[in-house]
């Protein structure tokens, strides 16, 4: 891959001044970027929105504190879909990010800036956030590794909220080991976050070279179908065969309610967003409409929120407000919560009844699509998340690992998704490392610098 100039891909929103980090930590001297919805005291935390374009946080996120204590050099904030709402990083108030493999295509989203920054060699590791696939999908599109931890494994303190029961912070790196080392640092309970689990953090690194002999890997055959790009199915089949050749046992499993995941997610996530984003009212902080446009308090609210939020954020706030409104709450929101419970039970049954260690699925129905291709059809964009949102609803860990390429004139990377049991990231990373090592084309993704 010939990497385009960094100003061409628009992955970085703000570069930080050089720091003097610790020199003896696990991440000593490693250049790390953070998604623009993760609070730092080094610059602006904009969430790629006009609403927060000048906001400087008075505190930093727990994950940022832990990275800095481990010696990481924070180089800047990465572009994203505004408030994390999107699957292409085209919904940023500061312009879209472009895919380093083909600058006419999207990097995925909403953590597209983080994935593109790592793919282009700007950062060794970048933090992203994943609500319905926002780490895994851009990692797949950019040919890097993206890890969504178990919900509660990593503190959300200092993460600008989108959907509080779904949001996770996780790493994107050039290889599995990079992500494992970053997760080792940022994981663990946090008194600032009541949803952060009081679960011991195991060693995320020491099993990476352990063979997967005897591990059982589930395959959801219904997700390898004719609706996918042919290369996606081919990559998944090749990954399944690599599991067999590496000593793993492959088991076909079913997730009966998987087809309902997108509908449930796009009721639950917007409903939580409509509540979380109510705080941006032009009174306490953030953007406020000019005084000459406001003759009443209601007009100030209206003008502030109309001008401060982009169209996709406004769309989701309206969807969520409607789902929570009187007369529709039971029909939409409550029913979606029941479906979420069924999806979680499907995964529990698959893992427990078959004794599975991981499940393999596609990450996305196709490779990175062209800029602007799906902007006029929000539903087409939402369906990009069809293989990732169910995992988020179930709160499970998952990782996207580069596993193949399309045969286009400009070949595009494709990842596979591995899903693990709750709080069993070490086994998930172990299987991911096996697939990564077995892929004969891995050298095309090999970082020029980094920890791998």
**CA-based nearest residue to 66, from 125, 15, 11, 122:** 125
Distances (CA, A) of 274 to 9, 269, 445: 31, 9, 39
Beta strands 31-35 and 73-78 are parallel
What sign for the dihedral angle of Cα 21, 24, 30, 33? negative
Q: Are 412 and 102 in contact (CB under 8 A)?
A: yes
- Residue holding tokens 């005291």? 41
Q: Are 393 and 344 in contact (CB under 8 A)?
A: yes
Q: Are 83 and 47 in contact (CB under 8 A)?
A: yes
Alpha carbons 441 and 93: distance in angstroms, whole number: 36
Instruction: Respond yes or no: is residue 110 known to be catalytic.
Output: yes
* E strand intervals along 255-369: 358-362
Instruction: Respond yes or no: is residue 134 known to be catalytic.
Output: yes
The one catalytic residue in 35, 148, 374, 421 is 35
The one catalytic residue in 49, 110, 114, 155 is 110
The one catalytic residue in 87, 114, 134, 364 is 134
**Helix, coil or strand: residue 206:** coil
**CA-based nearest residue to 82, from 217, 277, 223, 272:** 277
| Those residues with Cβ within 8 angstroms of residue 52's Cβ, 6 or more apart along the chain or in another chain | 44, 45, 46, 160, 280, 286, 287
Alpha carbons 127 and 36: distance in angstroms, whole number: 9
Enzyme catalytic residues: 35, 110, 134
């Amino acid at each position: 891959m010939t990497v385009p100039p960094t100003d061409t891909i628009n992955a970085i929103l703000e570069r930080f001044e050089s720091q003097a980090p610790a020199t003896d930590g696990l991440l000593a001297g490693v250049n790390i970027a953070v998604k623009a919805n993760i609070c730092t005291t080094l610059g602006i935390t904009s969430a790629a929105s006009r609403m927060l374009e000048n906001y400087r946080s008075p505190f930093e996120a727990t994950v940022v504190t832990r990275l800095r204590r481990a010696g990481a050099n924070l180089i800047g904030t990465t572009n994203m879909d505004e408030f994390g709402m999107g699957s292409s990083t085209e919904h940023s108030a500061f312009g879209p990010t472009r895919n380093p493999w083909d600058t006419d295509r999207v990097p995925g989203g909403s953590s597209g800036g983080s994935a593109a920054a790592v793919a282009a060699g700007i950062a060794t590791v970048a933090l992203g956030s994943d609500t319905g696939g926002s780490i895994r999908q851009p990692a797949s599109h950019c040919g890097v590794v993206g890890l969504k931890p178990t919900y509660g494994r990593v503190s959300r303190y200092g993460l600008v909220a989108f959907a509080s029961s779904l949001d996770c912070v996780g790493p994107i790196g050039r290889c599995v080991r990079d992500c494992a080392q970053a997760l080792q640092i940022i994981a663990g309970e946090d008194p600032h976050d009541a949803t952060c689990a009081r679960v011991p953090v195991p060693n995320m690194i020491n099993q990476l070279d352990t063979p997967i002999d005897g591990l059982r890997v589930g395959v959801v055959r219904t997700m390898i179908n004719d609706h996918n790009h042919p290369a996606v199915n081919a990559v998944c089949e090749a990954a399944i065969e690599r599991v067999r050749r590496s000593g793993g046992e492959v088991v076909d499993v079913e997730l009966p309610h998987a087809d309902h995941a997108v509908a449930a997610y796009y009721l639950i996530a917007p409903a939580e967003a409509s509540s979380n984003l109510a705080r941006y009212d032009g009174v306490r902080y953030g953007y406020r409409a000019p005084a000459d446009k406001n003759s009443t308090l209601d007009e100030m609210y209206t003008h502030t929120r109309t001008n401060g939020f982009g169209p996709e954020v406004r769309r989701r706030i309206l969807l969520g407000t409607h789902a929570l409104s009187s007369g529709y709450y039971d029909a939409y929101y409550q029913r979606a919560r029941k479906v979420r419970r069924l999806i979680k039970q499907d995964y529990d049954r698959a893992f427990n009844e078959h004794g599975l260690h991981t499940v393999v699925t596609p990450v996305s129905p196709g490779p990175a699509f062209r800029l602007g291709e799906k902007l006029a059809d929000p539903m087409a964009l939402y369906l990009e998340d069809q293989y990732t949102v169910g995992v988020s609803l179930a709160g499970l860990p998952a990782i996207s690992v580069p596993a193949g390429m399309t045969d286009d004139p400009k070949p595009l990377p494709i990842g596979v998704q591995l899903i693990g049991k709750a709080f069993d990231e070490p086994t998930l990373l172990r299987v991911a490392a096996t697939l990564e090592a077995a892929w004969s084309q891995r050298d095309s993704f090999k970082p020029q610098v980094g920890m791998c």
